[in-house]
Structure 1
Amino acid sequence: MNALNDAITAVNDVFWSWLVIPLLIVLAVYFTLRSGFVQLRLLPEMFRVIRSSPGVAPDGKPEISSFQAFAISAASRVGTGNIVGVATAIVLGGPGAVFWMWLMATVVGSAAFVESTLAQLYKVRTGTGFRGGPAYYMQHGLGQRWMGVLFAVVITITFPLVFNSVQANSISGSVAATVAELGGPGGWLLNAVVGLLLVGLVALVVFGGVRRIAHWTEALVPTMALLYLLLGLVVVLLNLEELPRVISDIFVSAFGAREFVAGGVGAAIVQGMRRGMFSNEAGLGSAPNAGATASVSHPVKQGLVQCLGVYFDTLLICSVTAFIILVPEPEYGGVGGVQVTQVALASSLGGWAVHALTVILFLLAFSSVLGNYYYGETNLRFLDAEPHHLTYFRALVLVAVFAGSVAPLTLVWTLADVFMGVMAVVNLVALIPLSEIAFRLLADYGRQYRNGLDPQFTLAKMPDLRNVECWGDPEGALPEDIARGHGVRLGDPVVPTDDQDRPDDGGEDGGAGR
C-alpha cells in the first residue's frame, strides 16, 4: 500500500508541478492584465456588492443572497487546509512560503473572478433559486456537454465523497487528541462515536436542501473566522515586539541570498504556491458552483464577491495560521501538520488554546463538509439525476463521512489530489475561450459604474450570446428589463444608448473604475 501511495504521489507531483500550476499561473496573469487588475482595482466594490439583497424565488421564498453564496464557497475553501496546509508549507518551504502564498492568491483572484462571472451568466433557474457552475458553462457556453459531464463526474467524486472523508478524519483526529490530553478513552470506539454524531449533524443539514446549507454556512463561516482571528490576535498582541521579526523572516526567506544558495527559495515558491492554490481553489472550478446560486443584478457582482473569497481564505485565514506559527520561533523537528500549529499555540497561550483549536477545527471541517456536499448535488442535477438518486447520493455522503472518521486516509487523499488536478485542467481549458465573454461583461459593468449607476444586466445588451437562460430574452424583453439591463435609474425614461450598438465592446477599458 505504501509503494502504491508513493507511486501515485510521484505522478501527482509531476502532474501538478508541470501542468496544473503553470497553466493556472499563465492564465491568471493573462486574466489580470486583460481585466486591468480587476482583483485589486475593484476591491472596495467587492465589499459593497456582497451586501446586496436577493430576489424572490418561484416558490415565494427569498433566493440565495450574494453573501450566502460567498459563505457556501468559503465553507468549502476554508477547511483544515488553512491550518494543516499552511503549517506544512512553512515546515517544507520555510517562512518565505507565506509570501508566495500571498502572491499566488493576489494573482489567481482574476481567475476566480472569470469563472464565477461565467457561472452567473450561464446559471439555470430552479424552483428555489439558481444553480450552475463550470459544467453548465461548458455545455451552454462552449456547447460541449461531454466536457461538462466529465467535470461533473470528477468533482462529484472528489469533493463530497473523498474530501469529506478527509475532513471527517480531521474532526475525529482532533477530538481524539483533545480527549487523550484530558485523560479520556480513545481508539476506534471514540472515533466511531464522533463519526455517528457527525453523520447526524450532516444529515440534518443536507436533507434540507441548498437553503438550509446556506443558512448554516452563513452562521458558521463568520463564527469560525472570528474565533480563529481572535486567537491569532491574542498571539500577536502578546508577542507584539516579535511582529517586525516575523514579517522580516517572511520576506527575507522568500528572497534572501542565503536561502537562494541553499535552495530554500525554490522550496518556498513551490510550497507557497501549491498550498495557496489548494487552499483558495481559485481557477479549479469548485467555487463557481456556489457563486452561481446567488441572486444578483449583474454577473460581474458575484465574480467580484468570489474574488473576495480568495482573499478571505488566503490573505486572512492562512495569514493568521502563519503568524501563530512564526511568532514563537518554532522548532519543527518531529512534528508536522496540525501539530505545528498546536505546539505554537500552546507555547504562546498555554494548553487551553489546543482545545480551542479543536473547536475551530471542528467548525472548519464541518462547514467544509456542507460546502463540498453542495458541489456534488449541483453537478448531479446537471447530470439529470432523479430525486431518488439524490437521496442515494446523500446517503453515500453520510457513509463517506463515517468511514472517514474511523479509517486512515493517506491513499485516498493522494488520489483526491489527482482527481482535483484533472478537474482543474478541464476547467482552465474551458476558461480560455470563454474568458472574453467575462471581460465584455466587466466592460459593461464598468460603463455603468463610472456613470454612478448600480450596474444591471439583461441579455438585451448582448443578444449575440446563446443558451443564456436567466438574464432575459433579447427578442422579447420588456422595456423595464431593457432599462435594468442598461443601468437606468428607476423612473428614468428608457432611451437607447450607444452600448446597444456595440455588443462586443469589451477590450477598450477592460473593466470598471472611477
Structure 2
Amino acid sequence: MPNLADFIGSQIVPKTDLVMIFCLIVCGFYYSFKLSFVQFRMLPFVFKILTERQDKNQKSKDHISPFAALMISTASRVGIGNIAGIATAITLGGAGSLFWMWAMAFFGGASAFAESTLAQVYKSKDGQGFKGGPAYYIQKALGIKWLANSFAIILVLTYAFGFNALQSYTMTSAFEVYYKNIAEAGVSFADSNFPLIIGAILALFVAWLFFSHHSLIGKVSSIIVPIMAFVYITLAFVAIVMNYEFIPNVLKLIFKSAFDFEAIFGGFAGSALVVGIKRGLFSNEAGMGSAPNAAAAAVTSHPAKQGIVQSFAVLIDVTICTATGFLVLFSTAYFQNFDANGQPILKALPLVQEAMKSYYGGIGLHFVSFSVVLFAITSLIGNYYYAQANIKFLTNSKQVMMIFRICAVAIVFIGAQLTLELAWNFADLTMAFMATTNIISILLLGGIVKKVMQDFSTQKAMGIDPKFSATKLGIKNAECW
C-alpha cells in the first residue's frame, strides 16, 4: 500500500481545479457583498433556529430537523481532509496556508447561504419529508432539465463512488502502523489480510446505515459529529494552552508566510496562497453543490433559516481545520520536520500523529487514528446522503435505489483494498464540473436569493418568526411553499 503522504502530496493543484477555484472565489465575493455579509449578520439567529421545536402536526419519521441537516452536511464537510489535508497544506504551502483557509471560509459562508436557501425554496416532497438540492433548483428555477440530470449523475459518481472509496482507503491507511507491527511480531497474515478485515467491518456498518430509513443517517450524524468535533477542538485548545508562550511566534509565522510575495510569485502553484485557498475551498465545500442536498431535507418555516444554518457549518469546518493547523504548528514535530534542503520529511497523517505524540505521548497517536475513523465514517454518511438525494431526483424506481445501495456498500469495501490515485483524479474532474455548474446556477439566481433574504430580515425586524410564502414574493415552481 503506497504512502498516504505521497498520495496527497501529489495532488496540490491539478489543472482541472483552476477554473473551479476561480469560480468559487468569485461566488463567495459576489454573495458576500450582494447580501451584505449575511454569513455574519445572521449568526446570532443560528442557535435559536437549531433549537426550534417542530409543529406537532408536522412531526413525522420522514422529517429531518434543522440540527440533523446541519450535522449531515457537517459530516461530509468534516473528513480526513481536516486532518491529513491541513497538515499537507501547511508542510507544502507553509504556515500561511492557514490564513488563506480562514479567508476562504470568511467569504464562503455567503455561498453556502445562497445555495442552501435555494435548495429550500425549490425542494420537493419525499413521502412525508422533503428532498432537494442543486439538481432541483436547476430544473425548477432555470428550466434546464438536461443540465439538472447531468449534475445529479456527476454528484452520485463523485460522492458515492470517488470520495467514499477515498474515505475508506484513508481509514484503512490509518491502521497501517498497527497491522504492520502485528505482522512484524510474527503474525504473517496480518499485513495482507487487515485491509480485507477493516473493509468488511466498515462495509457491514455502512450497509446498516445505507439500507435503513434516511432519518437514521441524521440521527447517527447528530450524535457522532458534535462529540467528535468537541473532543478534537478541546484537545487542540489544551495543546495551545500547554504551549501558550509560542502564540506570538506562531501567529507571526502564519502572517509572514501568508504574505511572503516572493515565495508566492516564485512558486505560485505550491505557495501558501494557492494551497491555502484550495484547501479552504475544498474543505468547507461552500458553493460546490453538496450541502444543499441536506439543507433541502430540513423542516423549517423559512428557506433563509437553513441558509443561515449552513453558513454556520462553514464556521464549524474552519474551526476544526484551525485545530489541526495549531496542533501541528505549536508542536516540536513541525519544526523538526524539514531536512537540510528545507523539504518536509513527514506529511499528512504521520505529521499529525507525531504532533499529538509530542503533547500526549503514545495516546496521542491512538487518538489521531480514532479521529480518522470517526471523520471517515461521518464523511461516508454525508456523502451517501447527498448521492441518495440525487438518485431520487433521477428516478423513483425502488429497484434502481436498491442497486445503488448495494454498489455504494461495495465501493466502501473495495476502496479499503485499493490505491486510489485513479479514483481521486476521476473525482477531481467530476467535482470540477459539478461545482462549476452549481456556481453558475446560483449566480444566475442571485435575485431570488436576495429577495428571500430580505423577506426574512423584514419579518425579523417586525419581531415575528419569519414564515415564507413563494406566491407573495412572486417565486414560481416552489411547490412546498
Same fold by TM-score greater than 0.5 = yes
Residue identity in the other structure for 1:67:
F
* Counterpart position of 1:224: 228
Tell me, yes or no, if structure 1 residue 208 matches structure 2 residue 212.
yes
Structure 2 CA distance for partners of 1:257 and 1:406, relative to 1, 3 Å = closer
RMSD: 2.3
Q: Which has the larger radius of gyration?
A: 1
* Counterpart position of 1:386: 397
* Counterpart position of 1:244: 248
In the alignment, the residues of structure 2 paired with residue 61 and residue 108 of structure 1 have an alpha-carbon distance, to the nearest angstrom, of 32
Deviations 1:430-463 (A, max 9, x none): 112112101100001111111222111122322x
* Counterpart position of 2:103: 103
1:254 and 1:268 in contact (8 A); partners too: yes
Q: Please state how far the C-alpha of 1:209 moved relative to its aligned partner.
A: 2.3
Count of residues in correspondence between the two structures: 463
Residue identity in the other structure for 1:311:
L
3-state SS of paired residue (2:83):
helix
Residue correspondence of structure 1 range 12-51 to structure 2 within 5 A = 13-17=14-18, 19-51=19-51
* Counterpart position of 1:402: 413
In the alignment, the residues of structure 2 paired with residue 261 and residue 436 of structure 1 have an alpha-carbon distance, to the nearest angstrom, of 37
* Counterpart position of 1:318: 321
2:92 and 2:270 in contact (8 A); partners too: no
Q: Please state how far the C-alpha of 1:265 moved relative to its aligned partner.
A: 10
Structure 2 CA distance for partners of 1:92 and 1:57, relative to 1, 3 Å = farther
Q: Which of 368, 375, 378 is equivalent to 1:357?
A: 368
Deviates more, 1:174-183 or 1:145-154: 174-183
3-state SS of paired residue (2:175):
helix
In the alignment, the residues of structure 2 paired with residue 396 and residue 159 of structure 1 have an alpha-carbon distance, to the nearest angstrom, of 13
Q: Please state how far the C-alpha of 1:12 moved relative to its aligned partner.
A: 7.0
Q: Please state how far the C-alpha of 1:389 moved relative to its aligned partner.
A: 1.1
Deviates more, 1:180-189 or 1:338-347: 180-189
Q: TM-score, normalised by structure 1?
A: 0.86
Deviates more, 1:439-448 or 1:41-50: 41-50
Q: Please state how far the C-alpha of 1:341 moved relative to its aligned partner.
A: 0.9
Residue identity in the other structure for 1:328:
S
Q: Which of 377, 386, 406 is equivalent to 1:366?
A: 377
In the alignment, the residues of structure 1 paired with residue 303 and residue 78 of structure 2 have an alpha-carbon distance, to the nearest angstrom, of 24
* Counterpart position of 2:426: 415
* Counterpart position of 1:469: 479
Unaligned ranges ≥5, structure 1? 472-514
3-state SS of paired residue (1:86):
helix
Deviates more, 1:43-52 or 1:422-431: 43-52
Deviations 1:307-333 (A, max 9, x none): 11011001x100000000000241143
Tell me, yes or no, if structure 1 residue 443 matches structure 2 residue 446.
no
Structure 2 CA distance for partners of 1:261 and 1:397, relative to 1, 3 Å = closer
Q: Please state how far the C-alpha of 1:62 moved relative to its aligned partner.
A: 6.4
In the alignment, the residues of structure 1 paired with residue 366 and residue 12 of structure 2 have an alpha-carbon distance, to the nearest angstrom, of 37
Unaligned ranges ≥5, structure 2? 339-343
Deviates more, 1:405-414 or 1:171-180: 171-180
Q: Please state how far the C-alpha of 1:171 moved relative to its aligned partner.
A: 1.2
Q: TM-score, normalised by structure 2?
A: 0.92
Q: Please state how far the C-alpha of 1:256 moved relative to its aligned partner.
A: 4.1
Structure 2 CA distance for partners of 1:260 and 1:367, relative to 1, 3 Å = closer
3-state SS of paired residue (2:125):
strand
* Counterpart position of 2:313: 309
Tell me, yes or no, if structure 1 residue 328 matches structure 2 residue 331.
yes
Q: Please state how far the C-alpha of 1:263 moved relative to its aligned partner.
A: 4.9
Q: Which of 433, 441, 457 is equivalent to 1:430?
A: 441
Residue correspondence of structure 1 range 30-109 to structure 2 within 5 A = 30-55=30-55, 60-61=60-61, 63-109=63-109
Q: Please state how far the C-alpha of 1:259 moved relative to its aligned partner.
A: 4.5
* Counterpart position of 1:253: 257
Q: Please state how far the C-alpha of 1:235 moved relative to its aligned partner.
A: 1.4
In the alignment, the residues of structure 2 paired with residue 237 and residue 85 of structure 1 have an alpha-carbon distance, to the nearest angstrom, of 24
